[in-house]
Amino acid sequence: MRLKPLRMPYQVGMKFQNRLFLLLLLVIGLQVLVIGIYVHHKLGEILDHEVGQRAMMQAQQLATRPTMIEAMEARDYEEVRRYVSEIQQLYTDASFIVVGDENSIRITHPDPEKIGFPMVGDDNSPALKEKKTYVSVSEGTLGFGMRGKAPIIAQDGHVLGVVSVGYLLNSIASWRTLYLKPLFFMLVIMLLSAIVAAYLFSRHIKKQMLDMEPDEIALSLRMESAILESVYEGVIALDDEGLIYSINQNARQILGIATETDDLRGKPIEQLVTPSEFFIPSPDTNTSDSVKDEILSLNGNYVIASRVACQLDGRKLGWVISFRRKDDINTLSYQLSQVQQHAENLRVMRHEYANKLSTVAGMIQLGAYEDALKTIRQETSQQQQLVDFFITRFNNNRVAGLLLSKFIRAQELGLELILDPACEMRKAMPDGLGANELTTILGNLLDNAYEATIRNPESNKQIHLLLTDAGEDLVIEVTDNGTGIDPAVENTLFERGVTTKSEEGHGYGMYLIHRYVSHAGGHIILDEAEPMGAMISLFIPLKGPVYE
């Protein structure tokens, strides 16, 4: 059995695969965006800190150089400008280096026209007054920049001036862009990869859902539950490990399980059903081999069960087992067989008595009244003796009625059914066998004997029957004078569908006989009859182990 998707009559809105893809894409996109913003912000902080520290260190190193201190003490500003110009051209990547005196008047500047004017920014006081080295962000004549400030201190400790080493913010921004380019490239690659992964994942999920939408799955589950509960038979679905996946109410009633369905899911079937071999096939069982109408005893109840493998894309998922009470089928079959049997008996008796009435009518027309009366009395006596024999020897009316009908049927077919003088049934039915099963066994055995005898042109047309419960067993022995048992089917005679007949619909009689006898704890013996034919002997214990 393959699972097939249940299609809804209509679909509304975007498909689940597209919704899942867009959701994954949105989540991944937000994650990439957050990562990008965080890294951009963190990288900016780190870069600003490093540039500020770099500017401050350069300003401090330049302010403490002996050459700078001596030139400032001698007020040799040309030497200061020459020295600063050399440093900026050869040793630093700073945007500018500005040196001011103790009054913040520029001594050096990238623009010579601004030399001699006050330094802009109003951020020199900590260096000139408090002798601090620090980083300042402010706007100067060249624009906004990050500047490292350091005081120039003479040998006697007084402040000679201030050194300002600065990096313009647009330069810092260009460095930030340079560092962020590989990061943004990596984020773009991550986003594209995530788009592909989201698309493939959404396709995979949709495939696992059998191309069904969530609404369709919900509808399927509700319909599955409704169908299971509406089925007259008991149904149990198991996974590949023998754990219960689903079970309906009728199955719990038949098996006598009081636990609710929800509490049974996931439990091993062997904890609830005995025996459980039918529910858990051997690992080498072919998944394509289904079992139909197997007679079992589950938890002490006889049932007729079928098993079908459940698989998806060639992979075995588990088994679905359905079963129904055997009594329900037996009752219907028995009622049907009884109607058929009565119709057959009436037809046989009508045919037989029509001939005899014709004979009596002819005698009366000829005036042979005494002969006609003698014939009527003789026929009445024979029929009464036959009925009295079956009634007195067999305490079960169903068995007696069946044997009477088979006796009459044999006469119509030109055969002779000979009952052994030891035939009798005076005790109760065997513990493991009911009247329905016994009549089924007798009917099939005698029908097979009739057919085999008719097919043998050299037969003496006699069938012998022994049916007795005089001992500890119910013994049934049928001997025919027919064609015997075909060696080709001797070893498989009791399997379902095995028959020597060419017509369809045969192969179930011996199977049922074997199942009934085995369930009742009995056994069957096959033998050859003398001088030809077959003899089948059944031994069913009246008291003793009943199949469970």
Same-domain check for residues 91 and 130: yes
CATH of the domain at 112: 3.30.450.20
Residues 196 and 228 in one domain: no
Digit-coded pLDDT (tens) for 300-332? 777 888 888 887 666 777 888 888 877 655 544
Rounded CA separation 304/281 (Å): 17
Same domain, 174 and 51: yes
195 and 55 in a common domain: yes
Token readout for 442 is 């007798």
What is the structure's pLDDT at 503? Answer: 52
Separation of alpha carbons 108 and 106, rounded Å: 6
- What pLDDT, on a 0 to 100 scale, did the predictor assign at position 479? 92
Q: Is the domain of 148 the same as that of 15?
A: yes
pLDDT at residue 353, as a whole number: 56
Same-domain status, 184 and 299: no
Residues 112 and 248 in one domain: no
Q: Which of the listed residues 201, 220, 239 is the one where a domain comes to its end?
A: 220
pLDDT attached to residue 544? 60
Residue 458 in domain: yes
| Residue range(s) defining the domain that contains residue 195 | 1-220
Q: What is the pLDDT of residue 15?
A: 80
Residue-wise pLDDT tens digits, 10-68: 445 678 788 888 888 888 888 888 888 888 888 888 888 888 888 899 888 888 888 88
Over residues 55-77, the pLDDT tens digits come to: 899 888 888 888 888 888 888 88
Domain final residue, candidates 190, 205, 220: 220
Whether 263 has a pLDDT exceeding 70, the answer reads yes
Say if 359 falls within a structural domain.
Answer: no
Domain C-terminal end among 328, 359, 386 = 328
Predicted confidence (pLDDT) per residue in 418-458, tens digit: 999 889 998 888 888 888 888 888 988 998 899 889 988 88
Residues 231 and 139 in one domain: no
Residue 148 lies in a domain: yes
What pLDDT is attached to residue 63?
A: 87
For the cut 70, the answer to whether the pLDDT of residue 502 exceeds it is: no
> Does residue 112 belong to any structural domain of this protein?
yes
Q: Are strands 462-468 and 473-479 parallel, antiparallel or unpaired?
A: antiparallel
Cα dihedral sign, 383-385-386-391: positive
- In the DSSP assignment, the letter for residue 105 is B
213 and 86 in a common domain: yes
Q: Looking at the structure, tell me whether residues 174 and 310 fall in a common domain.
A: no
Please compute the mean of the pLDDT values over residues 460-482 and round it to a whole number: 91
Mean pLDDT, rounded, for 252-277: 83
182 and 65 both lie in a single domain: yes
Q: Are residues 282 and 313 in the same domain?
A: yes
- Looking at residue 348, its pLDDT comes to 56
User: Could you tell me if residue 285 is inside a domain?
Assistant: yes
In a domain, 379, yes or no: no
The CA–CA distances, whole Å, from 539 to 298, 438, 468, 528 equal: 24, 12, 10, 17
Q: Which two tokens stand for residue 539?
A: 């031994």
Look over the chain and give the mean of its residue pLDDT values, rounded to a whole number: 79
Q: Which residue has the higher pLDDT, 213 or 253?
A: 253
Is residue 338 assigned to a domain? no
Domain count, the chain: 3
Residue from 346, 359, 364 nearest 401 by CA? 346
Counting runs of H as helices and runs of E as strands, what totals does the chain give?
13, 15
The CATH number of the domain holding residue 459 is 3.30.565.10
Say if 370 falls within a structural domain.
no
Higher pLDDT, residue 361 or 332: 361
Cα–Cα dist 96/119, whole Å: 13
| Predicted structure pTM score | 0.44
What is the Rg, in whole angstroms, of the alpha carbon atoms belonging to the chain? 53
Question: For residue 1, what pLDDT band results from cuts at 50, 70 and 90?
Answer: very low
Q: What is the pLDDT of residues 167-216, one digit of tens each?
A: 888 877 778 788 778 888 888 888 888 888 888 888 888 787 777 777 77
| Joined tokens for residue 414 | 């030109």
| 312, 2 Cβ separation under 8 angstroms | yes
Could you give the angle at which helices 397-412 and 326-365 cross, rounded to 10 degrees? 50
Task: Kindly tell me if the per-residue pLDDT of 162 is higher than 80.
Answer: yes
